[in-house]
Chains A and B, each alone.
Chain A
Amino acid sequence: MSVDDQISLESIEACFSGVVPAVLATASGDGVPNVTYITKAHRVDGERVALSNQFMSKTARNLAVNPRASLILIDPLTQLQYRLSLVYERTDRRGHLFERLRTDVDAIAALEGMQDVYRLRAADIFRVVDVAAVPPNPNAKPLEQLLPGHDPAAAVDGLATLAAAIGRAGDLDVLVDSALEILDHSLGYRHTHLLLLDEEGRRLYTIASRGFDADSIGAEVTVGEGFIGLAAQRCETAIVGNLGQMAKYSRSVRREHEDRGGVRPGREVPMPGLPGAESRIVVPAMALGELVGVLVADSSGWAAFSAADERVLRAACAMLASAVEHIRALERDEDTAPSAPPPGRQAHPGADTLAVRFFAVDGSTFFDSDYMIKGVAGRILWTLLRHHATDGRTEFTNKELRLDPSLELPGFKDNLESRLILLKRRLDERDAPVRIERTGRGRFRLHVDAALRLTAVDP
């Protein structure tokens, strides 16, 4: 076997990123070859690879009678090709390896809502008996002229800067802002979203973003759905370097399905992100073994994120998640008494009128005809505005909100502080005539620059 003698599977790890389709050849018992493209090969260990089996019925029949196979892989960064000689060992239909492969297949399927049609049927495991490099085109430009340099020390410096900033952050607002700023300036992640897990563990909501033109504060992703939701559900980093290719593949599956009379499933799951992004990395932010949220970084570059990026961002996310949990714990422990309502006063004589409509069914709140926010943050906003309209109050505390039954906060581990920050950022982002200003730990001030006309819509 020449795997040990020449090229190890570890040394060609980039080939297993799935960025470039692989090629698999098998042969029938009577010597008829079959050759097909496959979306991704997975390295199992130093001697084995796994291939996901969605539609490869002919390949499966061939392997049942002739276990030998030939696989061509491409390193997406260098475009070097490797030819692997394989011997089929077994097929897994459950277990850790199967789940690993299923994550990738589900992510592709989720792009077009094709989870019911395009799903992993089996993971075929092969022993690698030989790895050989295919000579590159001798007339092509040398690799060193085509690839950018890489400075690993810069990542360490960037993480040190991030750690220092997290240590200095006194509240969640400052924490998430400074974290994304440092990820941008010191670590080169220009386009990021930070999403936090909601109280029920069912949805992720965007609390901070950087490097996007479109509004995204408050944008939500369902846990288990789409590329981001799947990574959150499995608490595993997910990297894709060929979103364009993946979307193309998913569309092709959908088209073939529909061409054969298949019923069109649900609409494409929208994902907040960089228009035209080719690469995305989703890193779970974990603290004390629990998911706190996910960090999402996008790039328009092809195959922009590597295993090195995963290591850097995992370290960043671990620090960030611990800090978020620490701040939340401090807020919950605050024993700030509710502030005494100030005397009523005339509301904004001469100011523009702001029509606020609140839908009790889901907490969604509109300023005039503009959607602002929904859910817990929407109910918080409505509660604050009602108080303000009734008695002119502007000073509030987290404690009184926590005790307000109309907000339907869970009794344990509510994310009130995160929701307040989300609300504050959403109002800032929309340049709304209502703003929130933090005035101390557990205290905040409501600024209203309009005469309010409140309407609650019950179902």
Chain B
Amino acid sequence: MIGPECGLVVGTVSADGEPRATRAWAARIVDPDARRVRVLMGADDPVSVANLETGRVALNGANVRTLRSVQLKGRVVATEPPTADDLALVATSSGAFFRAIADTDGIPLELIERLQAAEVIAVEFDVDEMYDQSPGPAAGAAVHS
């Protein structure tokens, strides 16, 4: 639920507790054993980028076609400019995301593409908690793996 055809949003928080929402454009599991995830977050919001300094992050991924969703919460271990592979992944993932929306919801592709951030930042974090966020009575239930 953090792969292609998924909408990704990131939550961060400032040092004084102000939460901030922003979008991300691709994510992948870097190290399953360490539960480490690399997410390519939009860099168009300097507040969200600055909030990464607090070390806390939440990533919500929702499949566009099924709306099955998961939220990962963890601690930031690294932030850095995107690599060429990262940018290729962003192109693939965001393209699949936009096409899935156009397919399922009928929104013109060229309109949805206006959402995409011009720049991204790579954020790696270790997952401490995982929650099922699929719409329904059990939304928010902890997932143990």
Is B35 close to A, CB under 8 A?
no
CB proximity of A138 to chain B, nearest CB, Å: 5
Taken residue by residue from 89 to 128, chain B's Cβ proximity to chain A (1 for < 8 Å, 0 otherwise) reads as: 0000000000000001111101111111110000000000
Contact at B135–A249, with CB atoms within 8 Å? yes
Which B residues are in CB contact (< 8 Å) with A141?
110, 113-114
Knowing A58-B140, A137-B114, say if A33 contacts B67 (CB, 8 Å): no
The A interface, classified by DSSP as helix, strand, loop or mixed, is mixed
Contact at B56–A31, with CB atoms within 8 Å? yes
Within 8 A of B (CB), among A276-324: 278, 300-302
CB proximity of A353 to chain B, nearest CB, Å: 49
CB proximity of B111 to chain A, nearest CB, Å: 5
Within 8 A of B (CB), among A62-100: 66, 68-72, 74, 76, 78-81, 83, 85
Which A residues are in CB contact (< 8 Å) with B115?
74, 79, 81, 136-137
CB proximity of A453 to chain B, nearest CB, Å: 50
* B contact residues, total (Cβ < 8 Å): 52
CB proximity of A127 to chain B, nearest CB, Å: 15
Contact at B73–A136, with CB atoms within 8 Å? no
Inter-chain CA distance A256–B62, complex, in Å, is 14
Contact at B56–A257, with CB atoms within 8 Å? no
Contact at A70–B116, with CB atoms within 8 Å? no
Contact at A146–B9, with CB atoms within 8 Å? no
Within 8 A of B (CB), among A126-175: 134-141, 143, 146
Contact at A33–B19, with CB atoms within 8 Å? yes
Inter-chain CA distance A412–B111, complex, in Å, is 54
Which A residues are in CB contact (< 8 Å) with B49?
none
Contact at B114–A57, with CB atoms within 8 Å? no
Inter-chain CA distance A72–B60, complex, in Å, is 14
Question: Which of B11, B12, B60, B110 is in CB contact (< 8 Å) with A140?
Answer: B110
Contact at A137–B117, with CB atoms within 8 Å? yes
Which B residues are in CB contact (< 8 Å) with A26?
11, 19
Is A6 close to B, CB under 8 A?
no
Other than the given A27-B17, A81-B115, 10 more pairs (CB < 8 A) read A23-B60, A25-B19, A31-B54, A55-B139, A70-B19, A70-B20, A72-B22, A135-B44, A141-B110, A252-B66
Give 18 A-B contacts (CB < 8 Å), ordered by A residue: A23-B21, A23-B23, A25-B9, A25-B20, A27-B13, A33-B13, A33-B58, A35-B21, A35-B59, A36-B71, A57-B139, A69-B19, A79-B112, A83-B22, A245-B104, A253-B137, A278-B106, A302-B106
Q: 6 tightest CB-CB pairs across the interface, nearest first?
A: A256-B136, A35-B11, A33-B11, A25-B21, A55-B139, A25-B11
Q: Chain B interface (Cβ within 8 Å of chain A)?
A: 7, 9-13, 17-23, 44-45, 54, 56-60, 62, 65-69, 71, 73, 104-108, 110-118, 131, 133-140
